[in-house]
Amino acid sequence: MKTGLKLLLVFLFQAFSVFAATPEQKLVDEALSCASYYQISSRALEQMNVPQMKNVAERLKGSEKLAIKIAIKYDKDAEAKLQKVMQQQMSVMKNSTGLKDMIAKYRQQCMTLLSDPDKRLDYWEMALM
């Protein structure tokens, strides 16, 4: 009986470890969240139709492209996953105070990712040990 239980526990541990996120997967998830954040933010600024915000919206679009590039480096299908991430973020925005909460959540995290993606990957490697 004890041997059977041990084998079951070992099997379950191995089964669940297959589904554990790798550092690269965490980085891709983060990069896609950032790409979505930048896209949603740039669209919101464009819709405001305020000339002073046009340059900010353009910089956000550039940051979106960089975040997607980082994600694609580790997951060739990352760009196809972006729409789902955007839908998730938009659904959360509808239930909160909107763009302000999104900025508070993603601004610093995304700046950190874009400024040094390799360092961020190192972070995920350490965090998932």
Is residue 11 in a domain?
Answer: no
Is residue 9 in a domain?
Answer: no
> Mean pLDDT across the chain, nearest whole number?
86
Is residue 12 in a domain?
Answer: no
Question: In which domain, by residue range, is 122 found?
Answer: 23-127
* pLDDT, tens digit, 9 for 90 and up, residues 70-117: 999 999 999 999 999 999 999 887 765 678 889 899 999 999 999 999
pLDDT for position 48: 86
Higher pLDDT: 1 or 117? It is 117
User: What does pTM read for this prediction?
Assistant: 0.81
The secondary structure of 59-122 as a DSSP string is HHHHHHHHHHHHHHHH-TTHHHHHHHHHHHHHHHHHTTTTHHHHHHHHHHHHHHHHH-HHHHHH
- For the residues 4-8, what does the mean pLDDT come to? 48
* Count of domains observed in the chain: 1
Is residue 1 in a domain?
Answer: no
Is residue 2 in a domain?
Answer: no
Is residue 107 in a domain?
Answer: yes
